[in-house]
């Protein structure tokens, strides 16, 4: 099935707050969207990362207020 679409799009202002790895910004009609994924070694690393060790929980970086209101038991 073939679609022939003629369209005119006028954009006065377009604000995009963020585009992530899996985002698609589409304006108008798209016949086919092909996925593309690229992996770059921007740090210039030459060997694998070391194995992760034991996880030690840390206190929160933002001081949290104690809970208020009646205690629920």
pLDDT tens across 47-68, in order?
888 887 777 777 777 776 776 6
The pLDDT assigned to 70 comes to: 64
What mean pLDDT do residues 32-41 have? 80
Would you say residue 42 has pLDDT above 70? yes
Q: Can you say how many angstroms the Cα of residue 57 is from the centroid of all Cα atoms in its chain?
A: 26
Model's pTM, two decimal places?
Answer: 0.27
pLDDT for position 49? 82
Locate tokens 């104690």: which residue? Answer: 66
- DSSP line for the chain: -----------S--------TT-----S--S----------TT---SPPPPP--------SSPPPPP-SPPP-
The predicted structure's pLDDT at residue 57? 77
């Amino acid at each position: 099935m073939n679609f022939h679409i003629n369209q005119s799009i006028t954009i006065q202002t377009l604000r995009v707050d963020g585009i992530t790895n899996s985002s698609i910004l589409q304006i108008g009609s798209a016949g086919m969207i092909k996925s593309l994924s690229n992996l770059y070694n921007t740090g210039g690393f030459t060997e694998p990362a070391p194995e992760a060790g034991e996880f030690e929980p840390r206190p929160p970086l933002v001081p949290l207020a104690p809970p208020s209101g009646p205690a629920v038991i």
